[in-house]
Structure 1
Amino acid sequence: MTTLITLYFLFAVPAAGGPARGWAAAPRQDPRAAGRAQGRRRRREQVRALRSRARCSPLSSTWARPPPSAANGRAEPSASGKGELAALGTPPVVSCCVPRVLVPETGVGGSRFPDEGAMSARRALKAVLVDLSGTLHVEDSAVPGAQEALKRLRSAPVTVRFVTNTTKESKRDLLERLTGLGFDIAEHEIFTSLTAARNLLEQHQVRPLLLVDDKALPDFTGIGTDNPNAVVVGLAPEHFHYEMMNRAFRLILDGAPLIAIHKARYFKKKEGLCLGPGPFVTGLEYATDTKATVVGKPEKTFFLEALRGTDCAPEEAVMIGDDCRDDVGGAQQAGMRGILVRTGKYRPADEDKINPAPYLTCENFPEAVEHILKQML
């Protein structure tokens, strides 16, 4: 009897705090898993503590760096020998919950420039850069009212310069076209991308394969082209055929630099928009896995060269043009203000394609001049 009672308690009665024998036993907890869980909880608590401290930490725009040594101007190495890492300093604690947002001043047309009421804080306007094709004229037709508007602009105490990416004709032919349309313009006032390209060729003393319109060749008089070791691409519809493009392709593969007079995507003719040299330059870049050197708009150096001799800083100048990227965007990246006109190659909503947006968008050149005379002088 005693044996039966003992067996009953061993197999039928559950042990204190545990399951009955013969049932599926509860899995035992691995002490290593418990340790890992505790570690995760500890790390979460540390992260919460760091975030809490960051909310109260001041924002810093630069990292603290140790002073350079007088001997070599570089940070002294740390005791551990990790001088380069020590020179970087320690980054500040920045709150991810309280970002510092730089809000630009907004002005006419939603640009980053201030409205007229704040213009007095800027330097006085000294120079106006004016695009030609699409802004003053479209081929042999002047923009209505542009001649009279230019006369009014010249009466103001500002220097006027004309900047263009045109590669369809030489500067002299372009001047004849403009004077024939009734514009009072001198040759020395025109700065073209052809001039910028010639300057680069002379500087590096290379012999170019010139993919430009035959009417533009006079601007390269004196530049040797035998046995070319460079490729220059402008607008050359008659030369953009397979044989010539393949010749340029092979020269670039052999190491010749690719020079783009500009990379405009399209331009305006009377019958509509037409392909510019940009797509052909991009094709050569893609095929040769190289990058072209661009000399015309929207390059910053082009705008700065156009201001040479005017005694004018970029922030004292404004650019007027019909190309949101090459005219306005390039000028504003160089530090100028940009006025976009809705003539020439302008397309609806072009002003939304660049950042910062144009300082101002006008219907045409006369309206832009009106704004300059009334609001910017």
Structure 2
Amino acid sequence: MNWLSKPVRGLLLDITGVLYNSGEGDGVAIASSIEAVKRLQASDLKIRFVSNESSNTRAKLAAKLGRLGFEIQEEQLFTPAPAAASYLRQHGLRPHLLVHPGVQDEFAEFDMTDPNCVVMGDAEREFTYQNLNTAFQLLIKLDRPQLITLGYGKYYMETDGLKLDVGAYAKALEYACDIQSLVIGKPNAEYFSAAVADMQLTIDETVMIGDDILSDIGGAQKAGLRGVQVRTGKWRPQWENHPIVTPDGIVDNLAEAVNLLLAQNAA
């Protein structure tokens, strides 16, 4: 396995599609993923859970994962909203929010009168024509329109099937306004690098495991990481021969990756 050709001291794990599938209520944990995370937590490996989750604050996400059976601390979670809030703060921006109600608390500190940018996350049912058109009208009148997206995924898996993700809606605004989004989250290389730095490791020591071949695997590889694709979540069989991204490894699920890695480290 190419991804085990060099020592691994740290893992970046995607959440949705690797640990659980979202859906009604808290969603459903993927078979064997709870035990796999427990084994990792008991090892000497460092772990960060790197997600484009933008429908909950980190505290709410940690609580939801706890209800599903995972023991994950809030400080182990990397999600885009806190990083976006930091960017807004640094640049003195006043956002118009098109985000899920569950994540709005991350932006409570900001003045949202006379906004000079749009922040868009996975708004789910808030992605109405009226709300998208309001964002368009705000952007098109700005001298320097700025659209900030919390991730850039095409779609994600819920228990009842695939659902459109924020990237699909961002593309509509980009097309209408002749702009390019600033992506905060995967596949942005800086997002992966920040998670690696938080573990006090190097890129060469770290592996990303995810279910999205473009955002997770392709994004990680562009940042210099090894990327391991799981056949869970949004996995598509045709990705075995993807025209753009070749994973460093493909496994059936997180448990298989953990088995291979821990066996290699014990050898």
TM over 0.5: yes
- 2:241 equivalent to 1:344: no
- Choose which of 144, 166, 169 in structure 2 pairs with 1:280: 169
Contact 2:145 2:179 in 1 (8 A): no
Distance 1:324 1:351, change over 3 A: farther
Higher share in strand: 2
- The 5 Å alignment of 1:71-220 reads 108=1, 113=2, 119=5, 122=6, 124-139=7-22, 140-220=27-107
Q: 2: CA distance between counterparts of 1:265 and 1:335? A: 23
**Counterpart Cα distance in 1 of 2:94 and 2:125:** 21
SS of corresponding position for 1:188: helix
The CA distance in 2 between the partners of 1:353 and 1:226, in whole Å, is 45
CA deviation after TM superposition for structure 1 residue 356, in Å: 4.7
In the TM superposition, residue 256 of structure 1 has moved relative to its aligned partner by 2.7
What is the aligned partner in structure 1 of residue 256 from structure 2? Answer: 367
Instruction: Measure how far apart 1:325 and its partner are.
Output: 0.8
Q: Identical aligned pairs, as a percentage?
A: 37
The residue number in structure 2 matching 1:317 is: 206
Aligned partner of 2:189 in structure 1 is 300
- 1:268 aligns with 157
Q: Is the 8 A contact 1:135 1:365 kept in 2?
A: yes
Q: What displacement does 1:366 show? A: 0.4
Residues 208, 229 of structure 1: 8 Å contact kept? yes
**Alignment RMSD (CA, Å):** 1.6
Give the Cα–Cα distance (whole angstroms) in 1 for the partners of residues 171 and 232 of structure 2.
26
More RCO (CA 8 Å, sep 6+): 2
Mapped partners of 1:237, 1:178: distance in 2? 20
Corresponding letter in the other structure for 1:240: F
Q: What's the offset of the Cα at 1:353?
A: 2.4
The alpha-carbon deviation at position 155 of structure 1 amounts to 2.5
Given residue 168 of structure 2, which amino acid in structure 1 is its aligned partner? P
| Deviation by residue 1:158-182 (Cα, 9 ceiling, x = unmatched) | 1111011011222111111101111
Does the aligned pair in 2 maintain the 1:324–1:354 contact within 8 Å?
A: no
Deviations 1:17-68 (A, max 9, x none): xxxxxxxxxxxxxxxxxxxxxxxxxxxxxxxxxxxxxxxxxxxxxxxxxxxx
- 1:104 alignment counterpart: none
1:376 shift after superposition: 5.5
Show the counterpart of 1:103: none
Q: Give the letter aligned to residue 228 of structure 1.
A: P
- The secondary structure found in structure 2 opposite 1:374 is helix
Unaligned runs of 5+ in 2: none
Q: Is the 8 A contact 2:214 2:245 kept in 1?
A: no
Counterpart residue identity of residue 193, structure 1: P
| 8 Å contact kept, 2:213–2:245 | no
Tell me if the contact between 2:155 and 2:164 (Cα under 8 Å) persists in the aligned partners. Answer: yes
Q: Which runs of 4+ in 1 moved over 3 A?
A: none
Give the Å deviation of 1:350: 1.8
